[in-house]
Amino acid sequence: MYFGKYLKAAFLTHWNLLCFLGGSAFALLSGRPDILLPIVAAGEITYVGLLGSHPKFQSYVDAQEAKLKRDETSVASQQTLQQILRTLPPELLQRFQSLRTQCLELRQIAMDLRRPGMGAPDVPLDQLQLAGLDRLLWIHLRLLYTQNAVAKFLKKTSADQIQQSIMDLEQQIKQLPAGDKDSHHDRILAALQDNLDTSRSRLANLAKARENYQLIKLEIDRLENKIRSLSEMAVNRQEPEFISSEVDHVASSMVDTERTMNELQFATGMNTLDNEPPELLRARTAVAQK
């Protein structure tokens, strides 16, 4: 099956399709399709087999497949970004914009220190640093979004009301006649039990949201401090490899936090774990102020 994708790609190449269809049409119109069609088919099988097994062609197919996945992921990330920017209240959006602006300003200082008065073109290692900072800023932005969504969830959800609903449902189940067991009785019991399970799940979700809300706020403060520290480090230490490794270290330390955000999907309505970071520093117009 894995090799089959290369054979399929080889068959669907533009010039192969033209030659195959043209050869087949010629064979059919020649008056001797019984002779020419097998020749065309044999040539096609040989060509597709040789091309599909060629290492360079396989590398090309893999590269195109990877590019398609990146493009799909990029579109998903941009959609998530726009949703977050539309949803965040002005004070939280300003908090993110302030952090992003500081990163840009410190980056410019670092570039000026390398080549005073002239600026400096981006180099590959600098791009790696920018990509790393984009990743951290993306986590920061999603943390702000999660904080806002969970705050709204907690505000509109009452634990007392859910607990009262659980008690009422438990009482209704107890009051069902014990000896009267027929299909009608079973349907009523199933409906009450399902409602009870849902209410208990809501109460568990509320407890989880309350437990993680303070953690999210603390992680926002911690990440902001880390990002500012890394940006300042880029000015003081002209060691791109070291800066990049530090960015990766901070990002790795946020894995559990990202899992927590994903666990709070019931409150945020958004699963962003699989999204690649959009360009937040590399493209200066990527994030527009509300």
80 lies in some domain: no
For 25-34, write each residue's pLDDT tens digit.
Answer: 877 787 777 7
Amino acid at 232: E
pLDDT for residue 6: 73
Q: How far apart are CA 254 and CA 139, in angstroms?
A: 8
Q: CA dihedral in degrees (15, 19, 21, 25; nearest 10)? A: 160
Read off the tokens for 185: 């009785």
- 102, 189: one domain: yes
Domain count, the chain: 2
Read off the tokens for 97: 């914009």
- 11, 116: one domain: no
pLDDT for residue 167: 93
72 lies in some domain: no
pLDDT band at residue 113, thresholds of 50, 70 and 90? Answer: low
Q: How far apart are CA 14 and CA 262, in angstroms?
A: 43
CB 135 within 8 A of CB 251: yes
Q: How far apart are CA 72 and CA 175, in angstroms?
A: 55
Q: Which of 106, 113, 66 is nearest to 231 (CA)?
A: 106
- 94, 203: one domain: yes
- 49, 96: one domain: no
- 107, 41: one domain: no
61 lies in some domain: no
Q: How far apart are CA 190 and CA 224, in angstroms?
A: 49
- 118, 223: one domain: yes
Q: How far apart are CA 14 and CA 7, in angstroms?
A: 14
pLDDT at 254 over 50: yes
- 126, 248: one domain: yes
- 13, 152: one domain: no
Amino acid at 69: K
173 lies in some domain: yes
- 264, 126: one domain: yes
Of 215 and 74, more confident: 215
Amino acid at 192: L
Residue carrying structure tokens 């269809």: 21
Q: How far apart are CA 233 and CA 3, in angstroms?
A: 48
Q: How far apart are CA 127 and CA 234, in angstroms?
A: 13
Q: How far apart are CA 264 and CA 205, in angstroms?
A: 8
pLDDT for residue 30: 77
In terms of residue numbers, what domain contains 121? Answer: 90-268
Task: Tell how far CA 22 is from the center of its chain.
Answer: 44
Instruction: Please give the share of the chain, as a percent, with pLDDT higher than 70.
Output: 76
- 41, 140: one domain: no
- 13, 114: one domain: no
- 223, 106: one domain: yes
Q: What is the mean pLDDT of residues 33-59?
A: 79
223 lies in some domain: yes
